[in-house]
Amino acid sequence: MSFFNKLKAYQKKSEEQADIGLHTLLKGEWGLAKTFWLYYFLITLVVNIIFTFTEKQYQLVFLSAVSIYIGATALFAIKNTLTADNKLWWRIALAVITIGLLSDVISLIINLFPEYVDAYLESL
């Protein structure tokens, strides 16, 4: 087997494993704590730290889009983790992620259309 065939086989195996991990996450099989803290909170924290030090417009838009994707997938995944034991924490996690997702959408709008936002704010 040549090097390129081995590389293609490894890439295919890697893609299949990534798909399995995403499906496991979205089905809610990770559980509420792992999904919220490991998937949503830590990744959002890293994205927001990078967002703080970024100055270029296209990078801000990209990071806002990444943050929206992470929030939407986390919201969908946490929706599937409801059990009889975690109803309160489930609702709290959904509320936190929803608020974060709304702020990310507003941030994306502000970064995409800064001149319209400035004009609107000046008219107030």
Give per-residue pLDDT as tens, 66-95. Answer: 999 999 999 999 998 888 788 999 999 999
Full domain range(s) for residue 102: 3-123
* The model scores a pTM over 0.75: yes
The answer to whether the beta carbons of residues 71 and 100 sit under 8 Å apart is yes
Sign of the C-alpha dihedral computed for residues 40, 45, 46 and 52 taken in this order: positive
Among candidate residues 72, 21, 7, 18, the one with its CA nearest the CA of residue 44: 72
Number of domains the chain contains = 1
pLDDT over 80 (residue 115): yes
